[in-house]
Amino acid sequence: MAEQVAKNPSRFRAFATLPMQDPEAAAEELRRAVCQLGFKGAKVNGFSQRDKEDSAVYYDLPEYRPFWREVEELDLPFYLHPRDVLPSQQRSYDGHPWLLGPSWAFGVETATHALRLMASGLLDEYPKLKLILGHLGETLPTAVWRIDHWFAMAPRGITAKRKMCEYLRDNFYLTTSGNFCTHTRSRKLELIASCLQPTIRLSE
């Protein structure tokens, strides 16, 4: 990929893919891709699997804090891209395979992962992190008011110091990727702007 970018740098840029099963190796590869190859950040397909196939490792875990420190120091974005939930966690989809994938499950899984990152205190420890969510924010912009309302009523172990809407506003960039309905996009952007005052950053 780096070779292709080098052939036409005015047209192409690249994100790194990372071995997120190993936080130390992921941080090392990110720095190599950025500093040696000129990549512009990283794009990762959701949680990782480690040791056994039916396992899910999320990046709010304490062992990933050194990795996130590296991301912040490089001052480049981390794109959290969707993936399906594991087969063992798909009981709510039983008999309804059409709910899996990009129609529904992708967004639910990725929004949940993003909330885990926010609620864990990660963005208090590394407040300059830049994260990207596709598909107009995986439903979070239109749900975040209610999320904050109920988190305030019943924190249940949340260690974050701020509201989820503040992290969404200050640390996340939302793309329209994969959401090609013009009417939906226009209306949703209005809702996003009203929910996340005073600022929200959107990129096409």
78-81 β-sheet, strand order: 42-45, 78-81, 131-133, 172-175, 202-203
Give the Å distances, CA to CA, from 157 to 68, 75, 114, 152, 199. 21, 29, 17, 11, 28
**pLDDT over 80 at 134, yes or no:** yes
Q: Which pLDDT score, from 0 to 100, does residue 142 have? A: 85
Instruction: Kindly report, residue by residue over 136-182, the tens digit of the pLDDT.
Output: 899 998 899 999 999 999 988 899 999 999 999 999 999 888 777 67
Q: What is the pLDDT of residues 75-129, one digit of tens each?
A: 999 999 999 889 888 889 999 999 999 999 999 999 999 999 999 999 999 999 9
What is the chain's mean pLDDT, rounded?
A: 90
The CATH class that applies to domain 2-203 reads: alpha beta
Question: Residues 30-87: pLDDT tens digits?
Answer: 999 999 999 999 999 999 999 888 889 999 999 999 999 999 999 999 999 999 889 8
Cα–Cα distances in angstroms (integers) from residue 137 to residues 57, 91, 109, 143, in the given order: 22, 25, 12, 10
- CA 117, 103, 145, 141 torsion-angle sign: positive
Confidence (pLDDT) at 200: 46
